[in-house]
């Protein structure tokens, strides 16, 4: 019976991914219905705290985008890349990593892809080299951003596990995830320096250049933000957003700065979930009032739409999976507890595979991490294998990867004949595996 129920969950996940994040959340409702009405399982609890925190972060980031703050950040990024075009393969991934780190979502970097392709082509560098690793880096940074959905979800999950080992704060999580993520990106970028043939030696590319129309298409356009001028309010919104992030990190690092309330007979500092929610709402409100933001336009931006899809995905997937795991917790503990305790890397493999199924780091964490804690995995192992939550590069179906392919006019960033041999598979595997190794060593050494 457990196997049949698990197959139902997998079928819902696989079907849902065909329709994107919204489809994933909606079709998970079908799985939840079947588990409850057909198999008689008691419904689990939807991750309300996680969803509210995500909502606050997305509201703030969407206000920043509407105010023009994201364009300011991307203009600075482009200025750096065009100043050192010969190092585009190394600088591009760190640029997209930083944009995601600051904004909490990889969807903000789409504007950078045509700029990266343009710089590479003008310098005679194979665009696949910087573009593929830049797309991978933009997603790897999600585990390092203090305002990303994945980090917020992990903080919420660990905060809910009272009395289990060390209490992890946001600063401790970032102290591991930031250097580990950067290390993975650096190794993937170094590997990318010599990948593929040089454009001068690529027979397929040279054949395209023989057609004047193809040549004009490849070299004709110039994408740039360099000549754009932004109002002063756009710059203000950027600094307000940074200030909000700084306060979140400060209050996470020093719990004594947070008000304390009596909880179960002892004084407990205000949870970081609520701190993040408050500060993101405040930062968004200050931007709204000080930067002349059109409030009705906030919900029309790409960041808001992508964030709402993420919330819906987390809602459906986490509720369905929690229903299954709570109903069979004793059986799962008996079958798996010994394995995951003696071989914690098996948790990383499960997290990686589920991430591919749900196409979301946050959704994978909310589905797998609570189960890992229930099975007795040391919470620090959740930190050590946090980078494994990025596994959706395995198949080239994620929007950022597809956008990256579309923006490479040279055609070097592509999906191979066998689908699995696409431009992102090796940078992704190298980056994630190196990041996991680095975070594991950091956790074992310092905690």
- DSSP letters, 165-223, are SS---HHHHHHHHHHHHHHHHHHHHHHHTT-S--GGG-HHHHHHHTSHHHHHHHHH---
pLDDT tens readout for residues 11-55? 887 787 677 668 878 998 999 999 999 999 999 888 787 788 778
- The residue assigned the tokens 């919900």 is 299
Helix (H, G, I), strand (E, B) or coil at 32: helix
Element (H, E) at 263: strand 260-263
The predicted pLDDT at position 283 comes to 94
The whole-number average pLDDT for the span 173-188 is 96
Residue 210 has pLDDT above 80, yes or no: yes
The predicted pLDDT at position 287 comes to 95
The predicted pLDDT at position 337 comes to 63
In a domain, 14, yes or no: no
Structural domain span for residue 64: 46-315+328-446
Q: Are the C-beta atoms of 372 and 381 separated by less than 8 Å?
A: yes
Q: Which residues pair with 260 in a beta bridge?
A: 269
Instruction: List phi, psi (to 5°) of 38.
Output: -95, -45
pLDDT tens readout for residues 146-161? 878 788 888 878 876 6
Helix (H, G, I), strand (E, B) or coil at 413: coil
Instruction: List phi, psi (to 5°) of 320.
Output: -65, -45
Residue 365 has pLDDT above 50, yes or no: yes
Q: Taking Cα atoms as reference points, which of 149, 141, 146 lies closest to residue 97? A: 141
In a domain, 18, yes or no: no
The predicted pLDDT at position 251 comes to 83
Q: Are the C-beta atoms of 292 and 3 separated by less than 8 Å?
A: no
In a domain, 26, yes or no: no
In a domain, 10, yes or no: no
Q: How confident is the model at residue 163 (pLDDT cuts 50, 70, 90)?
A: very low
Q: Are the C-beta atoms of 396 and 347 separated by less than 8 Å?
A: no
The whole-model pTM stands at: 0.75
HSE of 337, CA atoms in CB hemisphere, 13 A: 11
The whole-number average pLDDT for the span 66-70 is 89
Q: How confident is the model at residue 388 (pLDDT cuts 50, 70, 90)?
A: very high
pLDDT tens readout for residues 244-283? 888 887 887 787 888 988 877 778 778 777 888 899 899 9
The predicted pLDDT at position 426 comes to 95
pLDDT tens readout for residues 276-290? 889 989 999 999 999
Number of domains forming the structure of the chain: 1
Residue 164 has pLDDT above 60, yes or no: no
Q: How confident is the model at residue 222 (pLDDT cuts 50, 70, 90)?
A: low
In a domain, 38, yes or no: no
In a domain, 281, yes or no: yes
The whole-number average pLDDT for the span 314-325 is 82
Ranges of H-type helices in 224-301: 232-253, 272-290, 295-298
In a domain, 6, yes or no: no
Residue 162 has pLDDT above 70, yes or no: no
Q: Are the C-beta atoms of 129 and 195 separated by less than 8 Å?
A: yes
Count how many residues are written for the chain: 447
In a domain, 21, yes or no: no
């Amino acid at each position: 019976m457990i196997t049949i129920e698990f197959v139902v969950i997998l079928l819902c996940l696989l079907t849902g991914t065909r329709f994107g994040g919204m489809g994933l959340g909606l079709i998970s409702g079908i799985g939840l219905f079947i588990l409850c009405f057909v198999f008689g399982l008691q419904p689990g609890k939807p991750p309300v705290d996680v969803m509210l925190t995500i909502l606050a972060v997305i509201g703030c980031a969407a206000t920043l985008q509407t105010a023009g703050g994201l364009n300011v950040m991307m203009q600075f990024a482009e200025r750096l890349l065009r100043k050192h075009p010969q190092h585009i393969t190394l600088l591009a991934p760190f640029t997209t990593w930083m944009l995601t780190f600051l904004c909490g979502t990889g969807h903000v970097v789409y504007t950078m892809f045509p700029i990266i392709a343009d710089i590479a082509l003008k310098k005679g560098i194979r665009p696949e080299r910087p573009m593929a690793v830049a797309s991978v880096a933009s997603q790897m940074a999600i585990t390092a951003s203090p305002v990303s959905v994945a980090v917020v979800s992990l903080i919420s999950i660990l905060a809910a596990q009272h009395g289990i080992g060390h209490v992890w704060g946001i600063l401790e999580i970032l102290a591991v995830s930031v250097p580990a993520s950067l290390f993975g990106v650096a190794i993937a970028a170094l590997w990318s320096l010599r990948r593929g043939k040089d454009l001068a030696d690529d027979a397929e590319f040279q054949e395209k250049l023989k057609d004047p129309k193809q040549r004009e298409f490849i070299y004709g356009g110039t994408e740039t933000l360099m000549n754009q001028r932004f109002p002063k309010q756009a710059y203000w919104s950027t600094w307000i957003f940074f200030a909000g992030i700084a306060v979140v990190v400060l209050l996470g690092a020093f719990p004594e700065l947070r008000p304390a309330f009596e909880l179960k007979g002892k004084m407990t500092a205000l949870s970081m979930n609520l701190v993040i929610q408050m500060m993101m709402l405040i930062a968004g409100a200050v931007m709204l009032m000080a930067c002349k933001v059109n409030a009705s336009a906030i919900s029309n931006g790409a960041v808001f739409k992508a964030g709402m899809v993420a919330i819906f995905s987390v809602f459906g997937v986490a509720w369905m999976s929690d229903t299954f795991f709570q109903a069979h917790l004793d059986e799962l503990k008996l079958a798996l507890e010994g394995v995951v305790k003696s071989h914690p890397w098996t948790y990383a493999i499960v997290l990686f595979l589920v991430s591919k199924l749900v196409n979301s780091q946050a959704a994978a964490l909310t589905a797998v991490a609570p189960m890992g804690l229930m099975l007795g995995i040391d919470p620090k192992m959740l930190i050590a294998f946090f980078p494994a939550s990025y596994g959706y590069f395995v198949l080239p179906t994620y929007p950022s990867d597809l956008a990256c392919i579309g923006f490479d006019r040279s055609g070097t960033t592509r999906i191979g004949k066998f689908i699995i041999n696409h431009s992102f598979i090796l940078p992704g595997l190298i980056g994630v595996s190196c990041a996991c190794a680095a975070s594991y060593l950091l956790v074992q050494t310092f905690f």
